[in-house]
Amino acid sequence: MASHQLMFLVSTILLLPLAFPSIAASKYAPSSEYVPAKQVEKEVTVVVEGVVYCQSCDRFGSWSLTGAKPIPSAKVSVVCKNYRGQVSYYKSFEADNKGYFYAQLDGFQMSHDLLDHPLQSCKVKLVSSPDEKCNLLSNINYGMYGAPLRFEDKVFRGGKHYEAVIYAAGPLAFRPNYCPPATHY
């Protein structure tokens, strides 16, 4: 029994870099020659993307986004907390004309590689909608309290010294201020 638990623990530790590829990324480029570290540091940027919608009145009270329309210029925030529960990063971002947001987390830092990893420490929240007819917060995909991030195996590599690890959140949605009562004949 104890040998099975030990084998499970060792396997888990060895597979962690596969589950969190940004942790496994080396800070320095491999080289057989000595090159000062400042010249070969790899910049790894964290990005969060998603879409903000206005939920259809037909789907009110559910998490369904069938019939939903994107909200141009909607605002979301990214909040990250360290392993002590303290806010370590906060910034709001505005969606484009199709409701899509691309939040590059400039300045985001991890003080602990596993506990402060974006998948555990960061959430995306709805902030505001410029659409006066659709600006009530909804908790679809936890938009009110913080939508968790998902790693969908998207990494952008720009040359030898730049890499962006892209996470997804949501889709998120506001709901209409007024929905006419459903009529049943």
- Domain count of the fold of the chain: 1
Does residue 24 lie within any of the structural domains?
A: no
Q: Is residue 99 part of a domain?
A: yes
Q: Is residue 33 part of a domain?
A: no
Look at residue 12 in the predicted model and tell me its pLDDT: 46
- What pLDDT score does 165 carry? 87
167 touches 125 (CB < 8 A):
no
Q: Does residue 10 sit within a domain? A: no
DSSP state of 50: E
Pairing mode of beta strands 162-168, 43-54: parallel
Residue 15 in any domain: the answer is no
Asked if residue 18 is part of any domain, the answer here is no
CB 74 within 8 A of CB 94: yes
- Per-residue model confidence (pLDDT) at position 50: 96
Q: Which amino acid is at 109?
A: Q
CATH number of the structural domain spanning residue 77: 2.60.40
Written as six digits, the tokens of 49 are: 């993307």
Cβ neighbours for 29, distance < 8 A, ≥ 6 positions apart: 35, 40, 42, 160, 161
Asked, for residue 31, whether it belongs to a domain, the answer is no
Largest CA distance in the chain: 80
Burial label, 147 (beta-carbon count in 10 A; 0-12, 13-18, 19+): buried
In a domain, 13, yes or no: no
What is the Cα–Cα distance from 178 to 170, expressed in whole angstroms?
Answer: 23
Secondary structure (3-state) at 162:
strand
Mean pLDDT by 10 residues, the chain (185 residues): 47 44 38 44 78 92 91 96 88 96 86 70 94 94 94 82 86 92 72
- Reduced to 3 states (helix: H, G, I; strand: E, B; else coil), residue 20 is coil
What residues make up the domain containing 132?
A: 43-175
